[in-house]
Amino acid sequence: MLEPRQVAYLRALDVDIYVPRDVPMPPGVAESLPVLAADAPVAPITELGWDDLRRAVAACQSCELHQTRTQTVFGVGNPQARWMFIGEAPGMEEDARGEPFVGRAGQMLNAMIRALGMRRDDVFIANILKCRPPGNRDPKPSEATSCRSFLERQVALVDPMLVIAVGRIAAQSLLATDTPIAKLRGKVHAFGAGHWPLIVTYHPAYLLRSPGEKRKAWQDLLQARQLFARLERERAGTGAA
């Protein structure tokens, strides 16, 4: 049952609210809501555009994380970006601001993007999870599964030439593996139905804790830049098949 405060919260997020006819509503709420027939068709996530996908993420209650989040963290950047960066999950600052990779880790990621000759606005940045795990704990497999269709639709809408998996957890989740990050780096992987090329690198938060590993992260970025250049040549019909 929706409570008045939940209705007010969803409206503040500009989320359209529909309820089946047989769902009980408290006084004063039912009269203000549009009604969705029990058999009314609902578009699958694979068919949603950006606006509807954002609304679906904001209203999601598929796992327990909706109970503790301040807000969902959808993603940010160029919706037609050629590069897409995917991290693990929102932290405390991301949960408060509703944007992925802010704070010190975000500044480090921005520096990595600049090293590639781009700005933050040139790429698209998202996370495996759209809600912050309490205490910034690691995502549970069930939580990642609940968010998977949202992320896959984001990647499909962006349709990037290259995906960068940022950190161990993001890489293992995207590639459905428990292989250590050291063995995932240095290779070109493929993600999703579009077989998008994927490169693995370290998480900016890890690089802040272990600055000696920045050299390895730079090697990953060089590999990504070289791969991207080759993909561009192939797309233009000037590279090798």
**CATH label of the domain that carries residue 148:** 3.40.470.10
CA 234 to chain centre: 28
Could you please report the per-residue DSSP string of 120-135?
Answer: GGGSEEEES-SSPPGG
The residue segments making up the domain with residue 227 are: 73-236
Q: Is 175 exposed, middle or buried (0-12, 13-18, 19+ CB in 10 A)?
A: middle
> Is 203 inside any structural domain?
yes
> Is 17 inside any structural domain?
no
> Is 176 inside any structural domain?
yes
The ranges of the chain with pLDDT < 70 are: 1-42, 238-241
pLDDT, position 6: 52
Q: d(Cα 25, Cα 31) in Å, to the nearest integer? A: 9
Residue 77 bridge partners (DSSP): 124
> Is 6 inside any structural domain?
no
Q: d(Cα 77, Cα 75) in Å, to the nearest integer? A: 7
pLDDT tens-digit readout, 216-228: 999 999 999 999 9
> Is 45 inside any structural domain?
no
- Read off the pTM: 0.82
Split into its structural domains, the chain has a count of 1
In the numeric block, which tokens belong to residue 129? 């999870």
> Is 49 inside any structural domain?
no
> Is 8 inside any structural domain?
no
Residues 85, 90, 92, 95, CA torsion sign: positive
Nearest CA among 124, 141, 135, 152 for reference residue 44: 152
pLDDT tens-digit readout, 77-127: 999 999 999 999 999 999 999 999 998 999 999 999 999 999 999 999 999
Q: What are the Cα distances from residue 70, in Å, to 40, 130, 138?
A: 31, 11, 18
Q: What are phi and psi of 140, to 5 degrees?
A: -80, 150
pLDDT, position 216: 97
> Is 31 inside any structural domain?
no
pLDDT, position 46: 92
